[in-house]
């Protein structure tokens, strides 16, 4: 065992003295030391129940003969960070989480790990850490929130964001907006639609790093506590069998995750995180792979914000394994990949039946024959850009209109709220990329305002920033190269015509080549005065098309 080098022999008596200072018995010290990475805090709703999940994991580890030891990981609530400088600190925490988990694990010689994340960046951050450390590791999340209810209909976090736009447009009064405020998020857990947190927790199952139900069992269900105990027991079995993350997260497993991503219609943020996780596994993938997989993968789910079903209903319908079983009917899943259960994907998903064809469409009757995410290229995004195709209205799949150019999210939000954006426009928000933001802020507020004001069927938005999983509409993000790196988005002028063709995977600035060359010759990207962690991050981060990994 890895920890034996810290525990065995007379020379390690000082180490053992410190273990005793923790209250550990000699018997506990002699057992495998299992690090429980807890993302518990009191500011993120998806994490307020993680203390109970951690207690259950500890019990599972102890029942299976290990000694559980808890240490923390940070987490930012994207919803609370949204729309102000706090959002600059969301994506950047992914690397802090991976780095700090590496430091804690190697400094203390843990034999195995159980990761207990939930919300947006600490799931991929801990997956990156798992790949980097490569000790036996199981994931068990805090679970999704139950949907809220208003006027007999289910709602989720995107509903309150769009309600603000409806209020600004005079469609609802302040009393109704307050009702949304009080009823949108009724329980603890990650917000109830197929947003980034739930996307990544579901894809953790698809990767083979979480047990069945990790992505879908609601946070408030007792089954989540049972799952946590089983995760603790499972990691001890992995330790005995020497099954490690890089044995699980192979190229085939990552392709499985991309395939499930397309079928579920996950957040566009998955196209930042999967390449970054793959990179830590020694597997390089680019955005072109996404379109190749999308071309052959039907979209089977329209979960909020794309539709009116929620994660709790996906769980009732059979969960991620039922989706994988549908995909496997057409041979779209590699069933030979090993998982944290010690069994293959094929063994895991066998007999996992889709029990609700209104939630998970049968593969013979999909929402579309192609996947939920599309990668667009063209002179505006030669290295790629990303759109959640499954959440775009049919009439907006092809759109051409004049650019309305803004240098930051706040300026665009003010113009939308003031009614200055009209049907046909293409809102351009730049200098919000990984370097230019820095931190690649999410644009949920402006996209929700567009939808709430009734412009979702006539206005598109493009940015070198990114979107919340709660975003819907013709919203193209991750435009690479970004403005701060000299990308063409930096020379777009007010009134320039921009063409978006999602079925053909194209995005173009319709300006003569000679004029583009003239503008680029004189173009000097704007620079911001930075300090602290953001200054270091901006100096090291790569483009959105590369997963915004640190070089």
Contacts of 371 (CB under 8 A, 6+ apart): 259, 261, 262, 263, 265, 290, 293, 294, 295, 297, 298, 299, 389, 390
Distance CA 271, CA 139 (A): 20
Could you tell me if 159 and 180 are in contact, meaning their C-beta atoms sit under 8 angstroms apart? yes
Catalytic residue among 385, 458, 468, 499: 468
Could you tell me if 405 and 432 are in contact, meaning their C-beta atoms sit under 8 angstroms apart? no
H helices, E strands: number in the chain? 22, 14
With vertex at residue 119, the alpha carbon angle to CA 115 and CA 120, rounded to the nearest 5 degrees, is 105
| Greatest C-alpha distance within the chain | 77
Task: Look up residue 425 and give its DSSP letter.
Answer: -
Task: Look up residue 45 and give its DSSP letter.
Answer: G
Q: How many CB atoms lie within 10 A of CB 532?
A: 7
Could you tell me if 473 and 456 are in contact, meaning their C-beta atoms sit under 8 angstroms apart? yes
In the chain, what is the straight-line distance between the N-terminal and C-terminal CA atoms, in Å?
Answer: 32
What is the strand order of the sheet 398-406 is part of? 374-376, 384-387, 475-480, 460-463, 426-429, 398-406, 497-501, 506-509
Distance CA 55, CA 38 (A): 10
Q: Which residues of 381-391 are buried (b: 16+ CB within 10 A; e: fewer)?
A: bebbbbbbbbb
Could you tell me if 150 and 179 are in contact, meaning their C-beta atoms sit under 8 angstroms apart? yes
Contacts of 183 (CB under 8 A, 6+ apart): 148, 149, 150, 155
Residue with tokens 């994991």: 57
C-alpha distances out from residue 160 to 150, 155, 445, Å: 11, 8, 10
**Six-digit token string for 448:** 């929700």
Distance CA 194, CA 309 (A): 9
**For 297-455, where are the E strands, in sequence order?**
374-376, 384-387, 398-406, 426-429
3-state secondary structure (DSSP) of residue 162? helix
Could you tell me if 57 and 228 are in contact, meaning their C-beta atoms sit under 8 angstroms apart? yes
**For 420-464, where are the E strands, in sequence order?**
426-429, 460-463
305 preceded by a cis bond (ω within 30 of 0): yes
Active site residue 448: no
Which residues are catalytically annotated? 468
């Amino acid at each position: 065992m890895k920890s034996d080098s810290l525990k065995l022999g007379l020379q390690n008596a000082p180490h053992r003295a410190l273990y005793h200072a923790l209250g550990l018995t000699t018997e506990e010290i002699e057992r495998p030391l299992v690090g429980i990475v807890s993302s518990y805090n009191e500011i993120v709703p998806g994490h307020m129940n993680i203390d109970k999940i951690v207690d259950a994991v500890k019990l599972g580890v102890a029942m299976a003969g290990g000694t559980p030891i808890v240490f923390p990981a940070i987490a930012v609530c994207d919803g609370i960070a949204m729309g102000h400088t706090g959002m600059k600190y969301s994506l950047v925490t992914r690397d802090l989480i991976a780095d700090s988990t590496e430091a804690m694990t190697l400094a203390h010689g843990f034999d195995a790990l159980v990761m207990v994340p939930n919300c947006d960046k600490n799931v991929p951050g801990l997956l990156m850490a798992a790949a980097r450390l490569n000790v036996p590791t199981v994931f068990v999340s805090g679970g999704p929130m139950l949907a809220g209810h208003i006027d007999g209909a289910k709602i989720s976090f995107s509903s309150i964001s769009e309600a603000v736009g409806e209020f600004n447009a005079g469609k609802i009064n302040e009393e109704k907006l307050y009702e949304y405020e009080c009823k949108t998020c009724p329980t603890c857990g990650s917000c109830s639609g197929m947003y980034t947190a739930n996307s990544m927790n579901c894809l953790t199952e698809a990767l083979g790093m979480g047990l069945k139900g990790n992505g879908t069992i609601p946070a408030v269900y007792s089954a989540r506590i049972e799952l946590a105990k089983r995760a603790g027991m499972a990691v001890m079995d992995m330790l005995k069998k020497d099954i490690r993350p890089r044995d699980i997260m192979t190229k085939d497993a990552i392709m499985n995750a991309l395939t499930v991503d397309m079928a579920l219609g996950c957040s566009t943020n998955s196209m930042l995180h999967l390449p970054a996780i793959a990179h830590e596994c020694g597997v390089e993938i680019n955005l072109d792979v996404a379109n190749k997989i999308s071309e052959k993968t039907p979209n089977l789910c329209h979960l909020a914000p794309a539709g009116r079903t929620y994660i709790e209903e996906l769980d009732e319908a059979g969960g991620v394994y039922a989706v994988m079983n549908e995909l496997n009917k057409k041979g779209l899943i590699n069933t030979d990949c090993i998982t944290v259960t010690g069994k293959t994907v094929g063994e895991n998903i066998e007999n996992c039946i889709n029990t609700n064809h209104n939630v998970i469409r049968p593969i013979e009757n999909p929402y579309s024959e192609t996947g939920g995410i599309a990668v667009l290229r063209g002179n505006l995004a030669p290295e790629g850009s990303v759109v959640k195709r499954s959440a775009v209205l049919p009439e907006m799949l092809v759109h051409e209109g004049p650019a309305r150019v803004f240098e930051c999210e706040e300026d665009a939000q003010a113009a939308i709220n003031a009614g200055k954006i009209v049907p046909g426009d293409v809102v351009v928000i730049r200098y919000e990329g990984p370097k230019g933001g820095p931190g690649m802020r999410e644009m949920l507020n402006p996209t929700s305002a567009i939808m709430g004001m009734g412009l979702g069927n006539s206005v598109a938005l493009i940015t070198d920033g990114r979107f919340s999983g709660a975003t819907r509409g013709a919203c193209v993000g991750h435009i690479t190269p970004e403005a701060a790196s000299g990308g063409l988005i930096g020379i777009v002028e007010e009134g320039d015509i921009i063409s978006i063709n999602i079925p053909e995977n194209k995005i173009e600035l319709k300006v003569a080549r000679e004029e583009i060359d003239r503008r680029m010759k004189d173009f000097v990207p704007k620079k911001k005065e930075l300090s602290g962690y953001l200054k270091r991050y901006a100096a090291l981060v790569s483009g959105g098309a590369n997963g915004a990994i640190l070089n």
